[in-house]
A and B are shown apart, each in its own frame.
Chain A
Amino acid sequence: MNWTDKLSYQLFEPDRDQTPGEVIFFKLFELFVLFYTIKFAWEWGIYTQFRNIEVVLPLGLANYMDASIFFDYNLALIIAGFITILSVAAFFRLGFKWQYMVVMVLLHIQYVIRFSQGEIPHSQNLIGMAVLCFAIGAWFFPDKKQMPRFVMGSIIFFIGLGYTSAFFAKLVGTGINWYDGRHLWLWIGEKSIDILSREGIYSPNILQTLALQSTAMASLILLIGWMTELIGFTMWWKKLRPYTTLLLIGMHFGITLTMNIRFDAFVFQLILVGFPWYLLIDRYVNKTPLFMKKWI
């Protein structure tokens, strides 16, 4: 068995039979992705319709088209409507096997028109990757037993890859001294201005105060977070996955406390994909509901 076979074994677990718990969990996870897909589509669409004025920063496909066209004529709302209809139909397996791919393209367009104002947020990336994995899975693995395994395995692969690539982006962008605590001071200052501007008031919390009082403490906070990113790829191994996931969730809480950046959808998705919830469901359910068999 070479390393690619070992990796595919860890991600897709080909020797494990499909259980009712796996089917139920998969549909619940798909419902979670569906909820956030529709939520983001409408939030971005409504903001674009009422707030976007000029293109400040073209992202993705906006490099090849004039994104400002979508600021008027309710086009962003119409796209949100299409995403809603197509994704709900895809959830119930109505329509075509490439339907999720259309949702993916429309969601990308919705993202680039909404975030043409200068901000590049990442808190919605995992939902986007999940939609992409559903799109690829529905297209290439439409079989009821294959699609759940491919979708979950590929999502885990890209989550682990994303964290580890973030580690290397910091190493390349700054160097080995990235964890210098004074860098955290600058970021705390920057985020404090964002909050002061957004809310009109700001006061640092206990962790921020501790970090601002001690370079060593600030450096330790950065170093722990950075090392956690490095080991993100260990999610690929099913036995290590829950432990790596716990560390990553802890890191996100640390980011929220020190820099006031929340990654709600990110953390929810980590909680869902990082632990073998199907085992828990299998303890209480021994038969897949008939309606769910139709939607898988």
Chain B
Amino acid sequence: MNTSSAKRGLKIIGITLLIYTVLVASHEGEFWPFSIYPMFSQAGNPWTRAMVIDVTDRDANEMWEVHALDDRTADVVSVGYYNVDQIDFSNFVSKTENWTGSRRNALIGMFGSNVIGDRQWMVSKVKGELIGADSIAIRIIPFIKISSGATELNPNLPESDYFRGNNELDR
């Protein structure tokens, strides 16, 4: 490569960078493979993840109660064991705003009704936040109970936790 080609190379990088900037600026920082790499950019915010707890043998009243992570007594179901991507699962649970029938059934579909069999699994939201100056609190919120053929919402939670948008079809 000679000097003039090197200069041309830098111009082409500059044009690519311009396209890069326009695409990430107009797509909230992400247009793969372009990115501003915003992960962890907003520190200190509360977070919500998800996990599945096996409540097959649990008391019907206790299974719906919100409790701290340290007070958990039921076993956690390993979603990786069933080839479900944990991050996808967590995002599906935490970002869905309207839990329509198809969305609830999709939870069963992720694992497969034959896999769930006669067990009862509690899809739970897990919320973490800073408390005071020197500690964090992690709470488990039982959200949707799934079995091989049915889903059930937590009767202790307000309906607004399940339906936030305008789409009220197929509830």
Contact = CB atoms under 8 A, between A and B. Distances in A.
A173 B39 contact: no
Given A8-B6, A14-B5, A196 B40 contact: no
Contacts of A56: 91-92, 95-96
B159 interface: no
B51 A128 contact: no
B38 A59 contact: no
B10 A7 contact: yes
B1 A146 contact: yes
B37 A166 contact: yes
A125 B35 contact: yes
A215 interface: yes
A26 interface: no
A117 B91 contact: yes
Q: Is the interface of A mostly helix, strand, loop or mixed?
A: helix
A161 B35 CA distance: 10
B144 interface: no
Given A122-B35, A197-B50, A186 B128 contact: yes
Nearest to A153: B9
Q: How large is the interface on B (under 10, 10 to 19, 20 to 34, 35 or more residues)?
A: 35 or more
Nearest to B76: A200
A54 B106 contact: yes
A121 B86 CA distance: 13
B37 A162 contact: yes
A51 B37 contact: no
B134 interface: yes
Interface stretch (A91-99, A174-182, A238-246, A279-287): A174-182
A51 B110 contact: yes
Contacts of A141: 1, 5, 9
Most A-side CB within 10 Å, residue of B16, B32, B43: B32
Given A14-B2, A170-B40, A173-B41, A119 B80 contact: no
B36 A165 contact: yes
Nearest to A222: B43
A125 B31 CA distance: 10
A149 B1 CA distance: 7
Contact of A108 (B2, B32, B94, B103): B32
Contacts of A131: 33
Contacts of B90: 118, 194, 197
A140 B12 contact: yes
A150 B37 CA distance: 24
Contacts of A146: 1, 5
B38 A169 contact: yes
Most B-side CB within 10 Å, residue of A8, A47, A136: A8
A162 B21 CA distance: 12
B142 to A, nearest CB: 14
Interface string B116-143: 0000000000101110001010100000
Contact of B89 (A4, A162, A186, A197): A197
A201 B7 CA distance: 55
A180 B44 CA distance: 9
Given A174-B44, A193-B126, A200-B76, A57 B91 contact: yes
A228 to B, nearest CB: 13
17 contacts: A7-B10, A9-B6, A11-B10, A51-B83, A60-B31, A125-B33, A126-B33, A140-B12, A145-B1, A149-B6, A166-B36, A166-B39, A169-B29, A182-B136, A183-B43, A186-B43, A189-B136
Interface of B: 1-3, 5-10, 12-13, 16-17, 27, 29-33, 35-45, 47, 49-52, 69, 75-81, 83-92, 94-96, 102-103, 106, 109-110, 126, 128-130, 134, 136, 138
- The 4 tightest CB contacts between A and B, nearest first, are A118-B91, A128-B33, A173-B41, A200-B78
